[in-house]
Each structure stands twice: as structure tokens, then as C-alpha cells.
Chain A
Amino acid sequence: MSTAVGREELHRLESIWAEKPGLRTFLTTVDHKKIGTRYLVTSFAFFVAAGLEALSMRTQLAVPDAGAIGPKAYDELFSMHGTTMIFLFVTPMLNGFGNYMVPLQIGARDMAFPRMNALSYWIYLASGIFLYSSFLLGSAPNDGWFNYTPLAEKAFTPGLNIDFYNLGLLFLTVSSTVGATNFLVTIFKLRAPGMSLNRIPLFCWAMAAQSFSLIFALPALSVANIFLELERRFDFHFFDRAHGGDALLWQHLFWIFGHPDVYIIFLPAVGIVSTVVPVFARRSMIAHDWLALATMATAFIGFGVWVHHMFATGLSNVTYAFYSAASMVIVIPSGVQIFGWLATVLKGRPVIRSPFLYILGFIVTFVIGGVTGVMFAAIPFDQQITDSYFVVAHFHYVLFGGAVFPIFAGIHYWFPKITGRMLDERLATWSFWLFFVGFNLTFFPMHILGLLGEPRRVYTYHPGFGWGLWNLLSTIGSFTLAVGILGTVVNVIWSRSSGAAAGDDPWGANTLEWATSSPPPEYNFPSIPVVHSVDPNWDVDDRRDDARRLEHAELTLSGGHETIGTDWLDADIEEIHEGPSESPWPLLLALTLSWFFVAFLAGHWVLAGIGVGLIAVAVGGWHLKEPGE
């Protein structure tokens, strides 16, 4: 039943928010949905790149003394595999889902800072291209994703490899920091009226926890990168013994970032798990508040465990005991989450569809990774087995199991919302099983290889130690996994044009992104939803009230690019925020930053100086036109 008032409001919203298709919009959009989709596509491309790097390595390691890939190429492959997966795939992919879904789940029309959102993406793309251009120069980073000094210093790695690494990561950090700020302000200030703190969806809690972690962890990495680059370019001293420096300073700085980073990866992924579980269990999440708390607790405790990466460096046992204890304590919040999910499923009536398959796969693989993680907290065991293939097995179980499985669940769950079409369930199921079997076949044998004494980061190994069989199985597994992934890629491409129509809410889901069309209109919601529970899309009366409000032009905010601002605790209405429409400045600023980093890499100080000036101009230009002008 639609009235003239309602129709007129829709008209107004459409004309305010419409972005004309074309190149100009492509370069200047600030729409979180378009930016989110870009993040998803770009990060998946990097996933494929890193996956090909992995397949190359597995081919070389399939048999002893294979001789297929030499150490120079291999070192670049394993370094870029890790760097790509961690920095260019998994976090941006999760941020892609975050970008698309967080505003929808909180009932907002866009992120708090739409132009900064676009900026985050352009910088991410630029820094990814920057890092990968190193391959073209035959100088890809080659000292591992962790890049320990002294090996990464100029004396031992004189080429541009490490400069690409330092500058590429510094560049990317700008994107991550801006993104984190954006998510935090969005989640705490732009929620729908009535969405008090205890009604925030768990995926949004996860993005908030991730963003807090990024804010506090990234600077440690940046300082490490800055120090090393100053050493390499200007002969400063921070890590070299001969001039008063300390090699372990790098490790401390790196892991103070690096350990929280795994939670930066893991938390949004379990946010996806917490999103999918209630829907396919057909009931509210059990202990929703404990799970939110567990998310925050994991992020917080994650800052206190980094020395467990350094158990073999010869620090004091008293120090080690503290970090061992902390590394065990962090298991507790994860345990609460796992049993929360299991309880919800067991007390519900499960519906098995492809997103849920990946969730079940996640639970099993993540727990396997988790128990080996506990093993690493046992100091003497860690001292025996760290830097062997056992740790490679462990972190792939927690990172692939703990993040990639949920990402694939997210792909299958949210594909209908983003494209308006359903994926093919049969192809998805086949792909899942190849994926699951392939993953386990690839990584389970690595536990055995580590126990048999095979060190990690080796381009080859010799026969006679019993390593050949397990390596071969692992390689077979990796190709199986690749086929499973390929199945999903084919499914996505095919279903985009030929999949069944999805409708607004094919899963009967409980969060607000399903309260609007698939894909959502530019303005997300015709009237801002008002929320009274933790499962707003299951509150049928509330959603009918939204429609009624549209017919009375209430909370339609059709005066401009508007969304509602609410207070952080109870989400009471504070004011209406006017946001920007398309703007060229995010792309321009990203280009000026690229100029600076390329010039610095090339050692052209004058050009770099000009770059700084251009950056200042771009920042100035950004603020030239104010909203409402």
C-alpha cells in the first residue's frame, strides 16, 4: 500500500543518491556498497595471486631436490605469499564485507566518512600495485613477511626488495588506519535509533574490535618499517649491533603489531560466523552479549602475548612464563565463542546450505588450529618445534580455517544481497567438499613434517628423512584445494548473470541488511529503521512500522545525503548528518601519495619533496568544497 507522499519521498531519495554509471562515477564514487564490492574483487584477485605463489612452492616441494625453483625465486615467492595473504587479501576482503554490510546492518545510509572510505580503497589498490611491481623489477621482498633484521638490512639484502616491503607496508598502513577510524566512528555514532550497545550485531562488534586493534597495533609496524628504511636509505642505526642497535628490537616491534594482526584477521571472520550461525540455526544467538565481550576481550588480550613468537631467542624464563600464561588465557574467549555457536546450532533447527557448510568446516579446522596454538604456549615444546613445518600447519589451520572458511561462508551468504541472485547450491556443495578435503590434505601433513624435523622457509629438502611422502600429499592437497576454490569462482561468475533471483531476504535472516532490496538501493533504506531487539529483521512489526513511516515521510531524511546520528550508548537520536556526494579528491590524494612513495623508492629526493607538496595540495583541495555548497 503506497501513498503519494511515500512515492514522492522515494523519488527524492533516488535523485539525491543516484550515481550516474560511467567512468566519472567509477573514479569518484563514495558509495560504501560500490567501494565494498571493489575491496572484495580486488582482494580476491590478490588471493588468487598468493594462491598461485603457494602452488608454485608446493610444486617445488612435492619431491626432494626437485630443482624446479631456485632459492632466489623461492624466497620471493614465500615472502610475497605471506605478505599478500595477510596484507592484501584477508584483511581487505573482510573490510570489503565490513564496508558493504556494516552501514546496512546498523541501519545507516553510508559510512561516517564516505570520502575517506574511497581513499582507503584507492590507497589499498595503489599499495598492492606498488608491492607487486617489485616482481617486474625482479626485486620482490625476499626476507619473509616478517622480515627479520639483520638479514633485511642493507648489508645483507642490498637490492630494492626490502625497500618495496617497507614503503609498500607504510603506504598500505595509511589505508588501514583511515579505514579503522571510519568503522569506529560509523559503528558508534551512526546506528539506527534504538540499536543500543547490546543490540549491535556481532559482525559490527567484530569490525569495531578489529578497528581498535588496528589503531593500536599498526604504529608498531610503521615504526619498524620507518626505522629500517631510515637505516637502509640514510645509514641510520637501530638494529645493527656494531652501532649500538639491537636486532631483537625489530622482532619486538614487528610482533607487537604481528600478534594483534592475527586477531585483526580473525575477529571480523568470526563476526561473519556469528552472523551466519543464528540464521541457519533458525534462532537467536545464545549468549550474544558474552560473544560480544569475548570479541573485545580477544582483541585486548591479543596485545599481551607477542613474545610467544620469540621463545627461542634466549630471553629470560620469567618473561617467557608470563607470555605463556597470557597465550593460554586468550583461549578462553575463543572457547566461549565456539561453544556459543555450537549451543545455538544445537538448540536450534539447522538448515544446511552452502554458507553453513563453510561455518561447520570452520569450527572443526579452527579448533584443530586452536589446540596446536595451545601447544605453542608450552614453552619447551615451542622451543623445539617453532620455525618448523608444525607452525606452518598451525597458522594455516587458524588463518585459513579461522578466516578463509568464514570468508567463503560470507561469499555464499552475502552474494544474494550484493548481486540479487543466488549461487548454485550443487556446485557450491561440491566446491566446499573439495575445498575442505583439499585444505586438510594440504596442511595436516605439515604437522607431521614439523615433528619429523623439517624446518620452514626452505626452498628444497633432501631425501632420507621421511619428508618426501608427506610433502607429496600436501602438494596433491594444495591442487585439490585450488580446484575447490576454482569451483566457487566459476559459481560466482556464472551466477552473477544466470543465478536464480534472490529477493530481499532469501535466508529468512535476522539482521537489517536483509530488510531492504537485493541489491539495496543507493540510499539503503527508504526510512531509517527503528530497532528494538538484537534480531531486528525478525521483528516483523517493527519493519512494518518502517514502511508506515515512509508513507508519512518520517525518518526518510530526504533533504540531502543524509543519515542519522545517534548517541553511542543507547542510540538516541542526536542529529542528522549530511555527507558528501561523488568527489575526485580521494583518488587524487591517493595518486599524490603514490607519487611520493614511488619517488622515495627510486631515491629521487626532489621528486619526493614535490610529492609532499602535492599531498598537501590534495588535502587542501579535499576541504575546499564543503557539504551543502
Chain B
Amino acid sequence: MSEQLAVPVALQRGRPLGYWGMLMLIATEAVLFGAIIASYFYIRFRTPHWPPPGVPEPKVLHPLLLTVVLIVSSLPAGIASWAARRQLPGRAAWGLFGTIALAAIYAAGTLVVMVHAWHKVGAQHDAYDSLFFTLQGAHVAHVAAGILINLYLLVKISRGRLTQYRINGIWAMSLYWHFVNVLAVFVLLTTISPSL
């Protein structure tokens, strides 16, 4: 490998490529949700009765509590990333575990809310319901995917070393996690907006 270089060298190492790749993924997913939320409000402002007659106003308390639980999971996610980058596998593993646990509570609780709502009025009733279930469902799906990936990372670092590749993975996933949590706020505000 090369040693002497008559070329300028940056003073600090750059972030891993996966970090930038994750940022791009977050950008595109943010626009995806932006388009769904924009569609929600587009339809809303063309509709005199929102929710339409016969559809109950959305619950506020349960979704709000669940969203708080999810946002709190940013803390263990951040700890996992910080610990991994400092080569502390034990703390990183606990951080991942905490993230997964809190996210699982959110996912299970939200699914319960959705199933209840479906039994009352399904998605096939009106655009209001279709938009609600699509938006909420898309978000829960992103949380579920994040849980799976974090589980995978947790298993890997519990059974093996904390390699640079895995550190980069945890770092990138922590970005994903913060994104999903910020998104949760927007999704919440949108879905409970008729009750506000």
C-alpha cells in the first residue's frame, strides 16, 4: 500500500459509505411518506366532512402514547451507535436490545389500534379510511423492517466480533431509526388531525 503521497490528505477520516447510502435511502423514504401525507391533506381539503359520516373520529391517546414510546427508542439506538463506534460491544448490544424492545411495543400497540379501527370501519369504506390504513401501515412496516435488521445486527455482534462492517451497519441503522421516529410524529399528527 502507498505511504508517501505528495497529495493533500484530509485531517479526519470520512464517514463510512454506508452512512451516505443510508442518508439517500432516508431522503427517498421521506419523500414517499411526504407524498402519502400530501395526498391525505389533498383529499381532506376537497372533502366537506372529514372523517366522512359514519366514521368515528380518530383516537388520540393511545397513538400518542405509543408514539412517545417509539421516540424514546431513539435513545438506546443512539447509545448503540455511540458504543459501537467506541468498540464497546456490550453496551452496543444493550442499546440494540432496548431499541428493539421499545419498537416492538410500538408496533404491537399500533397493530392493535389498527385492527380495532378495521373492525369498526375497514379501509374499503372511503378514501379517509384507505389513507389512514395505508399511511399507518406503511409506517409500521418500516418499524418492523427496522426491528428485523436490528435483531440481525444484535445476533451478529452477540455471537461474533464488533467488526468495522458491523459498526457501520449499526451507525447507519441508528440514522434509519431516528428517521423512522421523526416520521412517527408526522404520521401521528396526520392521522389524528381530524380530532385536533
Contact = CB atoms under 8 A, between A and B. Distances in A.
Contact present between A and B (CB < 8 A): yes
A234 B20 CA distance: 37
A227 B24 contact: no
A55 to B, nearest CB: 37
Given A181-B25, A236-B130, A244-B47, A220 B13 contact: no
Contacts of B13: 574-575
A219 B148 contact: no
Given A113-B17, A238-B131, A553-B2, A573 B7 contact: yes
Interface string A523-562: 0000000100000000000000000000001111111000
B57 to A, nearest CB: 16
B62 interface: no
A331 to B, nearest CB: 26
B24 A230 contact: no
A535 B166 CA distance: 40
A194 interface: yes
Given A194-B7, A557-B2, A567-B10, A620 B152 contact: yes
B31 A220 contact: yes
Nearest to A194: B7
B28 interface: yes
Contacts of A234: 123-124
A627 B16 CA distance: 13
B88 interface: no
Q: Which of B24, B34, B42, B47 has the most CB of A within 10 A?
A: B24
A627 B148 contact: no
A566 B8 CA distance: 10
B196 interface: no
Given A244-B127, A627-B165, A227 B39 contact: yes
B27 A215 contact: yes
A347 interface: no
Contacts of B21: 112-113, 116, 181-182, 185
B194 interface: no
A534 B43 CA distance: 50
A626 to B, nearest CB: 4
B124 A236 contact: yes
Given A556-B2, A573-B5, A573-B10, A222 B32 contact: yes
A238 B8 CA distance: 56
A575 B14 contact: yes
Nearest to A236: B130
B7 A246 contact: no
Nearest to B25: A181
Given A189-B17, A573-B7, A249 B43 contact: yes
Interface in B1-42: 1-5, 7-10, 12-14, 17, 20-21, 24-25, 27-29, 31-32, 34-36, 39, 42
A101 interface: no
B95 interface: no
A575 B164 CA distance: 14
A616 interface: yes
A565 interface: yes
B98 interface: no
A216 B32 CA distance: 8
B32 A243 contact: no
B1 A576 contact: yes
Contacts of B131: 238
Interface string A222-258: 1100110011001111100001111001001100100
Contacts of A235: 124
Contact of B17 (A227, A577, A616): A577
B134 interface: yes
B59 interface: no
A555 B5 contact: yes
Contacts of A184: 20, 24
A555 B2 contact: yes
6 contacts: A230-B130, A246-B46, A249-B43, A554-B5, A565-B17, A572-B7
Given A252-B42, A626-B165, 16 more contacts: A112-B21, A184-B20, A184-B24, A185-B24, A189-B17, A193-B8, A215-B28, A216-B28, A234-B123, A236-B124, A237-B129, A237-B130, A243-B125, A566-B10, A572-B9, A574-B14
Interface of A: 112-113, 116, 177, 180-182, 184-185, 188-189, 193-194, 215-216, 218-220, 222-223, 226-227, 230-231, 234-238, 243-246, 249, 252-253, 256, 530, 553-559, 565-567, 570, 572-577, 616, 620, 623, 626-628
8 A-B pairs with least C-beta separation: A244-B127, A219-B32, A574-B14, A236-B130, A181-B24, A626-B165, A223-B35, A572-B10
